[in-house]
Amino acid sequence: MARHTHSESPGERREDASGSPSHIDGEKFRDTIGHFASGVTIITAQHDGTNFGVTANAVTSVSLEPAMLLVCLNRKSRTQGAVSRSRAFAVNILEERQGDLAVRFAMTGPGKFDGVELRHGDLGSPLLQGALAHLECWVMEEVAAGTHVVYLGGVHRAEYFPGEPLAYFRGRFGQLELDRDVPADADILDPALSQHFHDALTFFTHG
Protein backbone atom coordinates (compact mmCIF):
# COMPACT_ATOMS: atom_id res chain seq x y z
CA MET A 1 0.00 0.00 0.00
CA ALA A 2 1.40 3.38 -0.96
CA ARG A 3 2.16 5.71 1.92
CA HIS A 4 1.15 9.34 1.80
CA THR A 5 3.96 11.78 2.50
CA HIS A 6 4.22 15.50 2.29
CA SER A 7 7.32 17.57 1.77
CA GLU A 8 7.78 21.19 0.98
CA SER A 9 8.42 21.60 -2.74
CA PRO A 10 10.82 24.24 -4.09
CA GLY A 11 7.83 26.32 -5.08
CA GLU A 12 6.64 26.42 -1.47
CA ARG A 13 9.91 27.70 -0.06
CA ARG A 14 9.71 31.25 1.20
CA GLU A 15 12.59 33.70 1.17
CA ASP A 16 13.40 36.44 3.64
CA ALA A 17 14.63 39.90 2.77
CA SER A 18 18.19 38.65 2.26
CA GLY A 19 17.10 36.13 -0.36
CA SER A 20 17.87 33.12 1.86
CA PRO A 21 15.22 30.43 2.35
CA SER A 22 13.17 31.15 5.47
CA HIS A 23 12.42 28.64 8.20
CA ILE A 24 9.71 26.04 7.69
CA ASP A 25 6.27 26.91 9.02
CA GLY A 26 6.25 26.36 12.79
CA GLU A 27 3.04 24.34 12.82
CA LYS A 28 4.31 21.99 10.09
CA PHE A 29 7.58 21.53 11.94
CA ARG A 30 5.74 20.72 15.18
CA ASP A 31 3.50 18.18 13.47
CA THR A 32 6.44 16.55 11.70
CA ILE A 33 8.81 16.35 14.67
CA GLY A 34 5.90 14.94 16.67
CA HIS A 35 6.41 11.68 14.75
CA PHE A 36 9.61 11.15 16.71
CA ALA A 37 8.63 8.98 19.67
CA SER A 38 10.36 9.68 22.96
CA GLY A 39 10.32 9.09 26.66
CA VAL A 40 8.86 11.66 29.06
CA THR A 41 10.59 13.56 31.83
CA ILE A 42 9.79 16.19 34.39
CA ILE A 43 12.58 18.72 34.84
CA THR A 44 12.67 20.05 38.39
CA ALA A 45 14.59 22.75 40.20
CA GLN A 46 14.45 24.62 43.48
CA HIS A 47 15.13 28.32 43.99
CA ASP A 48 14.67 30.39 47.15
CA GLY A 49 12.90 27.47 48.83
CA THR A 50 10.31 27.05 46.05
CA ASN A 51 9.99 23.91 43.91
CA PHE A 52 9.59 24.24 40.15
CA GLY A 53 8.87 21.59 37.54
CA VAL A 54 7.78 21.15 33.94
CA THR A 55 7.16 18.21 31.63
CA ALA A 56 9.75 17.89 28.85
CA ASN A 57 10.78 15.40 26.20
CA ALA A 58 13.62 17.44 24.66
CA VAL A 59 16.26 15.61 26.69
CA THR A 60 19.25 13.68 25.39
CA SER A 61 22.60 12.31 26.52
CA VAL A 62 25.64 14.18 25.22
CA SER A 63 28.77 12.57 26.63
CA LEU A 64 29.88 9.70 28.83
CA GLU A 65 33.25 11.18 29.84
CA PRO A 66 32.42 13.50 31.43
CA ALA A 67 28.80 12.46 31.93
CA MET A 68 26.68 15.19 30.31
CA LEU A 69 23.16 15.64 29.01
CA LEU A 70 21.12 18.47 27.57
CA VAL A 71 17.59 19.70 28.13
CA CYS A 72 15.58 22.35 26.28
CA LEU A 73 13.12 24.53 28.21
CA ASN A 74 10.72 27.16 26.95
CA ARG A 75 11.74 30.70 27.86
CA LYS A 76 8.21 31.30 29.19
CA SER A 77 8.51 28.43 31.68
CA ARG A 78 8.98 29.40 35.33
CA THR A 79 11.12 26.29 35.66
CA GLN A 80 13.49 27.66 33.03
CA GLY A 81 14.01 30.77 35.13
CA ALA A 82 14.58 28.68 38.25
CA VAL A 83 17.19 26.53 36.50
CA SER A 84 19.05 29.62 35.30
CA ARG A 85 19.08 31.14 38.77
CA SER A 86 19.84 28.01 40.80
CA ARG A 87 22.32 26.58 38.25
CA ALA A 88 21.04 23.08 38.98
CA PHE A 89 18.20 20.80 37.88
CA ALA A 90 17.01 17.20 38.02
CA VAL A 91 15.71 15.01 35.23
CA ASN A 92 12.93 12.74 36.48
CA ILE A 93 12.33 10.02 33.86
CA LEU A 94 8.70 8.98 34.19
CA GLU A 95 7.39 5.46 34.63
CA GLU A 96 4.59 4.20 32.39
CA ARG A 97 1.89 4.75 35.05
CA GLN A 98 2.79 8.42 35.56
CA GLY A 99 0.88 9.86 32.62
CA ASP A 100 -1.35 11.93 34.92
CA LEU A 101 1.74 13.44 36.51
CA ALA A 102 3.10 14.33 33.07
CA VAL A 103 -0.15 16.11 32.21
CA ARG A 104 -0.16 17.99 35.52
CA PHE A 105 3.37 19.32 35.07
CA ALA A 106 2.69 20.25 31.45
CA MET A 107 0.11 22.78 32.65
CA THR A 108 0.86 26.28 33.89
CA GLY A 109 -0.13 27.59 37.28
CA PRO A 110 0.44 26.73 40.95
CA GLY A 111 -0.19 23.47 42.75
CA LYS A 112 1.88 21.16 40.57
CA PHE A 113 3.56 19.60 43.59
CA ASP A 114 0.42 19.28 45.73
CA GLY A 115 0.24 15.72 47.05
CA VAL A 116 3.35 14.62 45.11
CA GLU A 117 5.82 12.54 47.12
CA LEU A 118 9.38 13.74 46.66
CA ARG A 119 12.73 14.26 48.24
CA HIS A 120 15.43 16.78 47.46
CA GLY A 121 18.69 15.64 45.94
CA ASP A 122 22.26 16.61 46.67
CA LEU A 123 21.94 19.77 44.57
CA GLY A 124 18.55 20.73 46.02
CA SER A 125 16.35 19.77 43.08
CA PRO A 126 13.15 17.77 43.74
CA LEU A 127 13.31 14.05 42.96
CA LEU A 128 9.84 12.64 42.29
CA GLN A 129 8.82 9.42 44.01
CA GLY A 130 7.92 6.60 41.62
CA ALA A 131 9.98 7.92 38.71
CA LEU A 132 11.85 5.37 36.61
CA ALA A 133 15.14 7.27 37.05
CA HIS A 134 16.65 10.44 38.47
CA LEU A 135 19.62 12.41 37.15
CA GLU A 136 20.88 15.34 39.22
CA CYS A 137 22.74 17.93 37.18
CA TRP A 138 24.47 21.26 37.48
CA VAL A 139 24.38 23.78 34.65
CA MET A 140 27.62 23.77 32.68
CA GLU A 141 26.41 25.97 29.83
CA GLU A 142 23.18 27.57 28.65
CA VAL A 143 22.44 28.73 25.13
CA ALA A 144 19.47 30.76 23.89
CA ALA A 145 17.84 29.00 20.94
CA GLY A 146 14.75 30.68 19.53
CA THR A 147 11.81 30.21 21.88
CA HIS A 148 13.85 27.92 24.15
CA VAL A 149 16.99 27.78 26.27
CA VAL A 150 19.31 24.79 25.91
CA TYR A 151 21.09 23.65 29.07
CA LEU A 152 24.17 21.45 29.05
CA GLY A 153 24.15 19.66 32.36
CA GLY A 154 26.96 17.86 34.11
CA VAL A 155 25.58 14.73 35.77
CA HIS A 156 26.35 14.82 39.49
CA ARG A 157 24.39 11.72 40.49
CA ALA A 158 22.09 9.20 38.81
CA GLU A 159 19.91 6.29 39.84
CA TYR A 160 17.31 4.07 38.21
CA PHE A 161 14.65 1.62 39.36
CA PRO A 162 12.73 -1.38 37.98
CA GLY A 163 9.87 -0.53 35.64
CA GLU A 164 8.94 0.53 32.13
CA PRO A 165 9.03 4.06 30.65
CA LEU A 166 6.18 6.38 29.81
CA ALA A 167 6.22 7.07 26.05
CA TYR A 168 5.13 10.13 24.04
CA PHE A 169 4.06 10.13 20.38
CA ARG A 170 2.11 12.72 18.39
CA GLY A 171 0.65 14.46 21.42
CA ARG A 172 -0.30 11.28 23.28
CA PHE A 173 1.18 9.40 26.22
CA GLY A 174 1.30 5.61 26.20
CA GLN A 175 3.26 2.46 26.93
CA LEU A 176 6.35 1.32 25.09
CA GLU A 177 6.31 -2.23 23.73
CA LEU A 178 9.84 -3.60 23.50
CA ASP A 179 10.30 -6.09 20.66
CA ARG A 180 13.96 -7.07 20.66
CA ASP A 181 17.37 -6.23 22.10
CA VAL A 182 19.65 -3.91 20.14
CA PRO A 183 23.21 -5.23 19.73
CA ALA A 184 25.80 -3.07 21.45
CA ASP A 185 27.65 -2.61 18.13
CA ALA A 186 24.58 -1.64 16.11
CA ASP A 187 25.09 1.23 13.67
CA ILE A 188 22.02 3.07 15.00
CA LEU A 189 23.84 3.75 18.25
CA ASP A 190 26.40 6.50 18.70
CA PRO A 191 29.85 4.82 18.55
CA ALA A 192 30.79 6.15 21.97
CA LEU A 193 27.57 4.85 23.46
CA SER A 194 27.73 1.46 21.76
CA GLN A 195 31.36 0.94 22.81
CA HIS A 196 30.60 1.64 26.45
CA PHE A 197 26.93 0.59 26.52
CA HIS A 198 27.09 -1.86 29.41
CA ASP A 199 29.77 0.09 31.30
CA ALA A 200 27.61 3.20 31.04
CA LEU A 201 24.74 1.57 32.91
CA THR A 202 27.06 0.80 35.80
CA PHE A 203 28.68 4.24 35.63
CA PHE A 204 25.40 6.13 35.72
CA THR A 205 24.16 4.04 38.64
CA HIS A 206 27.20 4.15 40.87
CA GLY A 207 29.18 7.13 39.55
pLDDT at 7 over 70: no
pLDDT for position 160? 96
More confident residue, 121 or 192: 121
Taken in order of first residue, the domains within the chain and their CATH numbers are 36-180 (2.30.110.10)
Q: Distance from CA of residue 69 to its chain's centroid?
A: 9
Q: What is the pTM of this model?
A: 0.75
Dihedrals phi, psi of 193, to nearest 5 degrees: -75, -40
CA distances from 109 to 49, 56, 78, 191 (A): 17, 16, 9, 42
- Convert the pLDDT of each residue in 43-91 to its tens digit: 999 999 999 999 999 999 999 999 999 999 999 999 999 999 999 999 9
Q: What local confidence, expressed as pLDDT, does residue 154 receive?
A: 97
| pLDDT average, residue stretch 143-159 | 95
Q: Is 117:130 a contact under the CB 8 Å cutoff?
A: yes
Q: Give the pLDDT band of residue 198 (cuts 50, 70, 90).
A: very low
pLDDT for the residue numbered 35: 74
DSSP 174-201: EE-----PPPTT-TTS-HHHHHTHHHHH
Q: Which stretch of 10-14, 35-39, 115-119, 203-207 has the lowest confidence by average pLDDT? A: 203-207
Greatest mean pLDDT among 9-13, 52-56, 201-205 lies in 52-56
Average pLDDT over residues 134-152: 96
